[in-house]
Structure 1
Amino acid sequence: MRSTTPAQASPPPGKVNREVLLRDVRVALAKGDEGRSKLSAKKDLQEWQAQRRRFMRLACAPRPPEDRPAPKVTRQWTRQRDGYRIEGVLIQGREGQTLPAHFYLPDPCPNETAGILICSGHAFEGKSYPLYQQAGSLTARSGMVALVTEPFDQGERIQDRKANGEHQSWGTQSHNNTGGKALLLGWSQSGLEAWDGMISLDALAARPEVDGQRLGVMGSSGGGTQSAQLFALDERLGAAAPSCYLTSHASLAGAAGPQDAEQWHLGSLELGLDHADYLAMRAPTPALICAVEGDFFPIKGTRACLAEARKVYKAAGQTDHVQLEVAPGEHGWHAPLQVAAVRWMAQHLLDREITPTPSEAVPMTPAEARVSPSGCVLDLPDEISLHTLLAQEADHLASARRLMADDMRLNAVRDLAGIRVQGKRPAAVWKKLSNDSNATNQKGLVQMSDGMQMPATRVVPANPSTGTPQLIVGRGAWHRGLTTPAEQETLWIDPLTMGDAQPKEGAWYGYFGHSARDAAWCFQLGHTLVGRQTEQIMEAARLLSKPPRLIAEGFIAIAALHAMALEPVLFAGSSIKLPFPSWQSLFNGADIGYQFAFLIPGALAVYDLPDLRA
């Protein structure tokens, strides 16, 4: 076994490995900052923006057809209020899926006024949450039409229900469940939400009271995410005012991390894409960043976001078309931010200077705000859930991929998972940590050339058999490997995020496990957690005296299966026990939980786990 001299004590491998990932994140972001700083010529600016818009269109899949007809909008009721009225409507989205929404209209309504899409944030009540009702009312009382919508798994769009009709999950938990399934299909949670946003803009532009050339978008928190991304994607939007979302990846890296599945995109950091670019790729179209001082989206990053966006707006000749409004307080769409957003819309879409007057009154009770008969669109005739839609697409891909030749499939597996060939991936060396040279079980690290570390135990029996060595993966290389005897040469390792390499802090919404935050950074960097783990297993196998038997169970078995399938010459056999039969089986239920981190984006168009055993 190749070796180096004994190493000094080092920080926990989980911390070291995360810092390696964040180092790569910072390098990627620095390139993005440098690129924005170099923009000057109009041609360069246009090419830079076009490249990022192309990326967003691909990242936010699936997209509605360009030649789609106007959506069917059915009015369910009208509520008259002082100076405006509210219409509860059902908008036909994808086939079999309905978007319940509220139109807020001035009364009397001016002809061809601006139309503002208001995207709900992560509130269980969705569009009926008091703050979103108040935003709709403020917009209408300021002379513009508002359409307030809600994403999947909020309000009347709960997709995961118990037998008694109550919700099983909602909000970010549900979005990450559907987002994980979408990744396997080559889709994304942001794409599913952007589809709804585009259909909603269709419905808004079709109103006779609205000038389709005067459309804007705003929202807070999760609605800030939706509005920022929709602004980047849909060039019909002439103004945006996302609130309580825009910051910088650098500031998130040291705070809340990558966040929900709809808040980041595969491979975005390969382009150096940061939050500022959602606005910058549309420069000089007016955009107002709304923020609060005490947000968990760090205000320092928000100020950096403005500075980076202004580089591009300056190159576009309209530095003043991107501004920042900051209010005191914690995360939330407080009245000063709503006022600033509505004022921004009137200024840039109607060429009017106004002073909107907020009201603490909530326009509707929960019962009045309900649009669908039962309060859940899944009870409508012919409605299908998002989980059913995703399962149908998985079935379609399963039929199509059976036609792929095995050699083509394995090449595609390597590309999708980001698994490099030997010589191009990080190499490994053994670093001994224990001082007892006579110990049978020796504590150490497998040090990767990219700086990552795997906790490891090397077992060298006093009278080793001539049998096949063992490579035992992800089962606690230190806390189990050091105390487990073996009759043959054995190497215990814990690849990235597994066993004794688990990060001790910063779990990503703990429901999705200790691996998910690092997996999300991997996805954004253009590779995968499974791919990095697979490479580490392959290189560890080369440290043994001859090809070992590969032993793995649980989630790390997914990486072990990839290693065995792609480079079988490294191994003399295996015992691999997967945590579930196939990725396809995840579509049988709503909850994917810890599995999120161990997915390969787009995999089901090419292969499923059983294909790797063939």
Structure 2
Amino acid sequence: MKVRGLYRFTQLLSNKCYLYSYTKIAIGIMCLWVFPLHAQQSTNIIDWRADEMLNTYLMQQMHQQYVLRNTRLQTALQSAQGVHSYQQQLQAAYHKLLGPLPQKVPLQPLVTGTLQQDGYRIEKIIYQSLPQHHVTANLYIPAGKGPFPAALLFCGHEATAKSTPSYQQTAILLAKNGFVVLIVDPVSQGERHQLTDSTGKPLTRGGTTEHTLLNAAAALVGSSVAAYELWDNERGLDYLLSRREVDTTRIGCLGNSGGGTQTAYFMAFEPRIKVAAVCSYITSRERTFELAGPLDGCVQIPNEGKQGIEIADYMHMLAPKPLLILSGRYDFVDYIGAVQAYNEAKQCYTTLNAADHVQLVTVDDGHGISQPKREAAVRWFRKWLYKDDAPVKEGTLNVLPAATLNCTTSGELNNSMPNELTLQQHFLKTATVLSNSRKKLTGKALADTLQQLLALPSAREKVQVEDTGTFSHPLGKIEKKLLRSAHEPPLPFLLIRPQEQAIKKVLICLQDEGKRALLDSAALLQPYLQKGYAILLPDLRGTGETADRPEFNNTKFYNKEYRNVMSSLHLGRPLIGQRVTDLQLLLDYLQTDAAFRQREVAVRATGMSALVALHAAVVDDRIKYLQVADHLPSFTTIIQQVLQKNWYSVVIPDVLRYYDVPDLLRILDKRFDFP
């Protein structure tokens, strides 16, 4: 049988590979009519808050990672040599997180307009960051004779980006105090929305949504939105240093909120930065994940926890260069975490004999770069780049409308620059390059690659299965079971044995909605029982009764299990890989039970769960037969259809560098002849 594209269910009573959708609908309706009372029986097995179990498990795993990281740090802080060694380790881990960065292309800068203001002027700048991909920015230049020290100012998540009043005020205050300032529009904000209609209108509700959807696509090709924002800023620095008004030896960076994130990533990456200020971002990553959950896609990089990197570590990488932390006591960015991070940084700087190079300024306000924070930031920059520590007073500053500051005529690069490529298109081109260049993996080489990318354990602990009860159903007696294995969350499943004959084979059925939905499809299961199959209906972690509650997953992120998906990626354990482990644990159980030990195992899976089954079958030959339906035909589809919901659940970082879904189908071709 030749495998092609998207699969439909295998016909129930034959070896053919297609089940027409109208038949499927008819059977579903029949199930609801025939088995309404029995469907009401509780299939739940876990007698605690099962819907919180996976997140609790992930948080415990994360705490273990950070315990190891904290131990390493405390050892390093005992000496300057220890800190230097720790910094080198961090730099290596950080660059590994970022993945391959693009090659530099000519900036081809354009000045599309100049605005003369009182004591400074504003130039409207467009420069090329990637081939046919541009960045919009405003350059504030003080009046007088230069060269002047300069600052990169990174924006938070406001849709208005560089024209946001507080960012204009920060730039103006810096310019009036003798700094050239470049404010960069982040991707997905200002004039740089990537997902737009033909008129340039954004297709998502805001930059944080677009960041998140693009981040899923970026991960598949081994990168992240954070890395591309960093690259835009790197090219912005290159442009800034090309200006004759700038003293290239005196450069700093600062930012607020999401711009604070960019500042942390940039100051740790770029050695040309001499001083930095971070507003409304510094806190504890560990506390943030537990208290608030993961934020949008540009705020954290996959595998950060695996590499043992905390937010404070980006400050450690900057040390002993001067760093100012600006925090609001009532900010939603956890203030206790901010103090913890500052105390860590203070230890680091003290060990390097530079205790006065780091400072925390706390203001009794909330989120954002308010006037007292702006004044503190400019004073900090003057202290280190002008050797002047006098207080700075803001006064009245004249901000301009967004349209006045726009660098394009339409307000969007997408429909202003000829042949402009979006990040989505760039990711698609990268995916094509990877597809054409990657080696076709087979056999053990492919299995080993999956083992690594999915972070599957090299050895699993023994399984124990607890019987928790039974109930009657038209299919027969349904057994409730709970599988336990050390270091993994408990796995609930239902077991149905054939009633009038010995067990000939075993069928494991997987569906994204879990075992309850499968049991409601009793008419689909009955033929297997009649053929002597024992049937297992599991809730793989995060599905069925263990599915996360909707209120913990903001709909703007387009994924119903966003917090657990992102927490898993942070740990370096993609959720799809954890579910492969669950399936392997079920196979382990079957080997321990005499009733099933010698029986061949088949797996029937639909939707996202089909990808779990495909990966499991490659790494585990105990799966002898497969039926898969309605699955993702290619990981590239996620990039092509980035606006679809729930893609994040199957994201595997850097997967397209090594294989794609059709490669799995090709390897497993012979196992689709379902008996």
- Decide: shared fold, TM above 0.5: yes
The amino acid that maps onto 2:602 is R
For residues 295 and 536 of structure 1, the distance between their equivalents in structure 2, rounded to whole angstroms, comes to 40
Render the CA deviation track for 1:294-338: whole Å, top value 9, x for unaligned. Answer: 222211111111112222112211122221112223322211111
Give the TM-score normalised by the residue count of structure 2. Answer: 0.85
For residues 492 and 515 of structure 1, the distance between their equivalents in structure 2, rounded to whole angstroms, comes to 21
For residues 372 and 566 of structure 1, the distance between their equivalents in structure 2, rounded to whole angstroms, comes to 52
- 2:85 aligned residue (43, 47, 50): 47
Is the CA contact 1:255–1:296 (under 8 Å) kept in the aligned structure 2? no
- 1:391 aligned residue (428, 434, 447): 428
Render the CA deviation track for 1:472-529: whole Å, top value 9, x for unaligned. Answer: 1245555346664752321111112122211225225553323222222222222211
**For 1:341, what is the secondary structure of its paired residue?**
helix
Q: Which residue of 1 aligns with 2:20?
A: none
The amino acid that maps onto 2:316 is A
- 1:494 aligned residue (539, 542, 550): 539
Q: Which residue of 2 aligns with 1:562?
A: 615
Structure 1 residue 93: Cα displacement: 1.5
Question: Which is further off, 433-442 or 96-105?
Answer: 433-442
The amino acid that maps onto 1:191 is A
Q: 1:362 to 1:468 in 2, by over 3 A?
A: farther
Render the CA deviation track for 1:7-29: whole Å, top value 9, x for unaligned. Answer: 99642333222212111111211
Please list every run of 5 or more consecutive structure 1 residues that lacks an aligned counterpart in the other structure.
1-6
Q: Please say if 1:60 is aligned against 2:98.
A: yes
Question: Which is further off, 459-468 or 441-450?
Answer: 459-468
For residues 426 and 331 of structure 1, the distance between their equivalents in structure 2, rounded to whole angstroms, comes to 46
**For 1:440, what is the secondary structure of its paired residue?**
strand
Structure 1 residue 429: Cα displacement: 2.7
Q: 1:535 to 1:594 in 2, by over 3 A?
A: same
For residues 503 and 241 of structure 1, the distance between their equivalents in structure 2, rounded to whole angstroms, comes to 37
Is the CA contact 2:611–2:632 (under 8 Å) kept in the aligned structure 1? no
Q: Which residue of 1 aligns with 2:4?
A: none
For residues 563 and 555 of structure 2, the distance between their equivalents in structure 1, rounded to whole angstroms, comes to 8
Q: 1:372 to 1:36 in 2, by over 3 A?
A: same
Q: Please say if 1:304 is aligned against 2:340.
A: yes
Q: 1:482 to 1:373 in 2, by over 3 A?
A: closer
**For 1:56, what is the secondary structure of its paired residue?**
helix
Q: Which residue of 2 aligns with 1:506?
A: 552
Q: Please say if 1:278 is aligned against 2:320.
A: no
Give the TM-score normalised by the residue count of structure 1. Answer: 0.93
Q: 1:481 to 1:449 in 2, by over 3 A?
A: farther
The amino acid that maps onto 2:101 is R
The RMSD of aligned alpha carbons is: 2.3
After TM superposition, list the pairs within 5 Å mapping 1:74-473 onto structure 2.
74-108=110-144, 110-169=145-204, 170-359=206-395, 361-378=397-414, 379-404=416-441, 407-421=444-458, 424-434=459-469, 440-473=477-510
Structure 1 residue 572: Cα displacement: 3.0
Q: 1:503 to 1:54 in 2, by over 3 A?
A: same
Render the CA deviation track for 1:175-198: whole Å, top value 9, x for unaligned. Answer: 111111111111121111110111
Q: Which residue of 1 aligns with 2:564?
A: 518
- 2:663 aligned residue (606, 611, 614): 611
Render the CA deviation track for 1:435-457: whole Å, top value 9, x for unaligned. Answer: 66998112232223214022211
Q: Which residue of 1 aligns with 2:3?
A: none
Please list every run of 5 or more consecutive structure 2 residues that lacks an aligned counterpart in the other structure.
1-43, 591-595, 667-675
**For 2:274, what is the secondary structure of its paired residue?**
strand
Q: 1:436 to 1:389 in 2, by over 3 A?
A: closer
Q: Which residue of 2 aligns with 1:4?
A: none
For residues 573 and 70 of structure 2, the distance between their equivalents in structure 1, rounded to whole angstroms, comes to 22
For residues 477 and 413 of structure 1, the distance between their equivalents in structure 2, rounded to whole angstroms, comes to 24
Is the CA contact 2:278–2:326 (under 8 Å) kept in the aligned structure 1? yes
Greater C-alpha radius of gyration: 2
For residues 229 and 451 of structure 1, the distance between their equivalents in structure 2, rounded to whole angstroms, comes to 33
Q: Please say if 1:553 is aligned against 2:606.
A: yes
For residues 459 and 404 of structure 1, the distance between their equivalents in structure 2, rounded to whole angstroms, comes to 38
The amino acid that maps onto 1:131 is S
Q: Please say if 1:14 is aligned against 2:73.
A: no
For residues 468 and 398 of structure 2, the distance between their equivalents in structure 1, rounded to whole angstroms, comes to 64
Structure 1 residue 173: Cα displacement: 1.0
Q: Which residue of 1 aligns with 2:574?
A: 528
Structure 1 residue 357: Cα displacement: 2.8
Q: Which residue of 1 aligns with 2:7?
A: none
Q: 1:476 to 1:179 in 2, by over 3 A?
A: closer
Is the CA contact 1:249–1:258 (under 8 Å) kept in the aligned structure 2? no
Is the CA contact 1:562–1:612 (under 8 Å) kept in the aligned structure 2? yes
Q: 1:464 to 1:542 in 2, by over 3 A?
A: farther
Is the CA contact 1:397–1:605 (under 8 Å) kept in the aligned structure 2? yes
Render the CA deviation track for 1:80-108: whole Å, top value 9, x for unaligned. Answer: 11121111111222221111111111112
Render the CA deviation track for 1:344-388: whole Å, top value 9, x for unaligned. Answer: 111112211233333564521122111112221122123211111
Q: Which residue of 1 aligns with 2:10?
A: none
The amino acid that maps onto 2:542 is T
For residues 471 and 399 of structure 2, the distance between their equivalents in structure 1, rounded to whole angstroms, comes to 74
Q: 1:122 to 1:540 in 2, by over 3 A?
A: same
Is the CA contact 2:472–2:478 (under 8 Å) kept in the aligned structure 1? no
Structure 1 residue 153: Cα displacement: 1.1
The amino acid that maps onto 1:256 is A
Q: 1:588 to 1:476 in 2, by over 3 A?
A: closer
For residues 179 and 490 of structure 1, the distance between their equivalents in structure 2, rounded to whole angstroms, comes to 38
Q: 1:288 to 1:297 in 2, by over 3 A?
A: same
Question: Which is further off, 227-236 or 447-456?
Answer: 447-456
Q: 1:555 to 1:126 in 2, by over 3 A?
A: same
- 1:572 aligned residue (603, 624, 627): 624
Structure 1 residue 402: Cα displacement: 4.9
For residues 641 and 512 of structure 2, the distance between their equivalents in structure 1, rounded to whole angstroms, comes to 28
For residues 267 and 289 of structure 2, the distance between their equivalents in structure 1, rounded to whole angstroms, comes to 24
Q: 1:225 to 1:427 in 2, by over 3 A?
A: farther
For residues 501 and 256 of structure 2, the distance between their equivalents in structure 1, rounded to whole angstroms, comes to 64
Question: Which is further off, 282-291 or 159-168?
Answer: 159-168
Is the CA contact 1:60–1:192 (under 8 Å) kept in the aligned structure 2? no
Q: Please say if 1:600 is aligned against 2:652.
A: yes
For residues 88 and 409 of structure 2, the distance between their equivalents in structure 1, rounded to whole angstroms, comes to 44
The amino acid that maps onto 1:567 is D
**For 2:228, what is the secondary structure of its paired residue?**
helix
Render the CA deviation track for 1:414-446: whole Å, top value 9, x for unaligned. Answer: 21111234xx13443322222669981122322
**For 1:604, what is the secondary structure of its paired residue?**
helix
The amino acid that maps onto 2:188 is D
Q: Which residue of 2 aligns with 1:3?
A: none
Is the CA contact 1:114–1:349 (under 8 Å) kept in the aligned structure 2? yes
For residues 425 and 47 of structure 2, the distance between their equivalents in structure 1, rounded to whole angstroms, comes to 48
The aligned length equals 602
**For 1:34, what is the secondary structure of its paired residue?**
helix
Is the CA contact 1:85–1:104 (under 8 Å) kept in the aligned structure 2? yes
Is the CA contact 1:497–1:514 (under 8 Å) kept in the aligned structure 2? no
Question: Which is further off, 213-222 or 372-381?
Answer: 372-381
**For 1:548, what is the secondary structure of its paired residue?**
strand
**For 2:294, what is the secondary structure of its paired residue?**
coil
Render the CA deviation track for 1:19-77: whole Å, top value 9, x for unaligned. Answer: 12111111211222222222223322211101111221221234244xx5773322111
For residues 550 and 326 of structure 1, the distance between their equivalents in structure 2, rounded to whole angstroms, comes to 57
Question: Which is further off, 432-441 or 357-366?
Answer: 432-441
Is the CA contact 2:135–2:184 (under 8 Å) kept in the aligned structure 1? yes
